Amino acid sequence: MFAMSFGLIMFICIVPSSILMFFQCYPGDWKKRNLILGVKNREEYRTGETLEVVDKIYAKYRGAGLKIVIATCVISCLLLFLKGMTLATTVWTTFIMVALFAEMIPLFLGNKEMKDLKRRLGLGGETNVTYVDLSNAGAIRTLKMPQVVAPHIVSLLVFLVALLSDLKVIPMEHGWTAGYFIGTGVALMFWLVGVIITAIGYAMDRSKNEVISKDSTVNANYNRAKKKNMSNYVVMFLWTNAIFTAISIASFSVAYSEVLFMASIAIYMLLIMGGMVLYVLREKKVEEHYAKESKVFEDDDDHWILGSIYYNPKDKRLNVEKHVGVGGTVNFAHPIGKLIGVLGALCIVATFVAVIMIGMMESTPMKLQIEDGKVICHHLYDEYVIDMDDIEEVKYLDGTGMRMSRVSGVGMETLLKGNFVVDGQGGCKVFLWRENQYIIMIKTSGRTYYVNSSSVEDTMEIYQEIQKNLD
């Protein structure tokens, strides 16, 4: 069930994203677009024999991109049937990274071929010229403070309610997790997501206005339409985020269920992706509406590596509009842009390291052992070491039906480790192999532990030794 819920969330993320990316990278009629595979569209490409050459190049790489999208959708459907949370996490994480990169490969190759064609035709570019409409410089702003403040106030109020509930200032009769800051952590996490989206929205809203015409009014209307579309999506995202946070915290006061929580995350992602689809469609309409108004040509192809990575040391801007896709990207020649690039690379490496660690966790048995008068819970390394002299009580339990909610640590279909709320009791240390239903409850003066081994026999043997020592 966990694997299916997780797979559904990943499916909602990857399939719409893949389809949207395809139509952004490889639109239907390249002749009506400002860009061809990340290269600025020129009049020379639409005349004579060159038209046929560009048609063949574009058709070849658009077809390759379509095949990759279809393969991505088919494989995503098959991955919904993966068994086991660890396997699902590992496969989905790897697949998403590979699929999104694979979809960009035809663009990279096509961009290179278009630049080669451009050189063969002897087409130069005004690579050091940047057009600025001084009449509208810094004047087009569509994301207003009240629009973002209201959903943030709602999110903060929800966070405050969750915090007061955990502090038991506000009584929650049915909230058995109250007091252990699980709800507070969830509310804080979603509020921080809203803060990040707000920061991105303000950065895009204050980016340099594009110049498409010598008429300042046309430039103003074009940039206002694009920025208004972006602002609407940001506001929609913030309200969806706030409302979902409120619903999640309300569910904690009734019955906390990880399956229910993951299902609600899937609905949340569906709404966010639906908003993204509307954003892209409206962006397309704006571009089509102003296509005939585009009179100013700025050739900066040489500053776009593979048509998608902007690197221009002479440009002092940090944020620029993407050549491919919607929204903005950073100038990786800018000092902050370089830092963002390094952090991004580290995040990718960390993701793969995390996937490897998850695989190691699931494949390594959990083991209890007694050495030198200490109970040692070992899994990859010694997780907990309990001095036998500190043990005040020990019980051998059948864990079927016990309610456990993770506060911090690892919660997988095969194992549980970390700080948990167990049957309403907080501050418990858990070290459990879930296929073994039998549990040793060890109580010391300052902590309660729920532990077992991967083997039922080993668990019983350790329990008997602890009981013998206690007696």
Burial class (CB in 10 A: 0-12, 13-18, 19+), 132: exposed
> Contact, 108 vs 55, CB < 8 A?
no
Domain count, the chain: 1
Residue 134 has pLDDT above 60, yes or no: no
Burial class (CB in 10 A: 0-12, 13-18, 19+), 259: exposed
With respect to residue 457, please indicate whether it lies within any of the assigned structural domains.
yes
Q: Is 446 helix (H, G, I), strand (E, B) or coil?
A: coil
| Token pair of 466 as six digits | 């602890």
Residue 128 has pLDDT above 60, yes or no: no
What is the C-alpha to C-alpha distance for residues 271 and 240, in angstroms, rounded to an integer?
A: 8
pLDDT score of 108: 93
> Contact, 6 vs 262, CB < 8 A?
yes
Least Cα distance to 405 among 241, 255, 290 occurs for 255
Q: Which of 127-141, 345-359, 444-458 has the lowest mean pLDDT?
A: 127-141
Residue 138 has pLDDT above 70, yes or no: no
As a whole number, mean pLDDT of residues 189-205 equals 87
Residue 355 binned pLDDT confidence (cut-offs 50, 70, 90): confident
With respect to residue 296, please indicate whether it lies within any of the assigned structural domains.
no
| Token pair of 287 as six digits | 């571009």
DSSP 8-state code for residue 413: S
With respect to residue 442, please indicate whether it lies within any of the assigned structural domains.
yes
Express each pLDDT in 141-151 by its tens digit: 888 888 899 99
Using alpha carbons, list the distances in angstroms from residue 49 to 10, 52, 55, 121. Answer: 45, 5, 10, 11
Q: Is 234 helix (H, G, I), strand (E, B) or coil?
A: helix
With respect to residue 422, please indicate whether it lies within any of the assigned structural domains.
yes
Average pLDDT over all residues of the chain = 83
State the number of CA atoms in the 13 A half-sphere of 193 facing the CB: 19
Residue 400 has pLDDT above 90, yes or no: no
Q: Which domain holds residue 441?
A: 367-470
pLDDT score of 293: 66
With respect to residue 377, please indicate whether it lies within any of the assigned structural domains.
yes
What is the C-alpha to C-alpha distance for residues 366 and 348, in angstroms, rounded to an integer?
A: 29
Express each pLDDT in 453-467 by its tens digit: 999 999 999 999 999
Amino acid occupying residue 390: D
Q: Which of 4-13, 191-200, 416-425, 443-452 has the lowest mean pLDDT?
A: 4-13
Using alpha carbons, list the distances in angstroms from residue 142 to 200, 267, 325, 327. Answer: 14, 29, 21, 15
Q: Is 289 helix (H, G, I), strand (E, B) or coil?
A: helix
Residue 124's contacts (CB-CB under 8 Å, 6 or more residues apart) are: 299
Using alpha carbons, list the distances in angstroms from residue 442 to 293, 414, 418, 431, 438. Answer: 75, 21, 15, 11, 13
DSSP 8-state code for residue 295: -
Residue 215 has pLDDT above 80, yes or no: no
Residue 237 has pLDDT above 60, yes or no: yes
With respect to residue 234, please indicate whether it lies within any of the assigned structural domains.
no
Residue 24 binned pLDDT confidence (cut-offs 50, 70, 90): confident
| H helix or E strand, kind and range, residue 256 | none
Residue 410's contacts (CB-CB under 8 Å, 6 or more residues apart) are: 361, 416, 417, 418
| Token pair of 325 as six digits | 């896709």
Report DSSP letters for 98-120, one per residue. HHHHHHHHHHHHHHHHHHHHHHH
pLDDT score of 133: 57
With respect to residue 93, please indicate whether it lies within any of the assigned structural domains.
no
With respect to residue 186, please indicate whether it lies within any of the assigned structural domains.
no
Packing angle of the helix pair 85-120, 2-25 (nearest 10 deg):
10
| Token pair of 21 as six digits | 């990316």
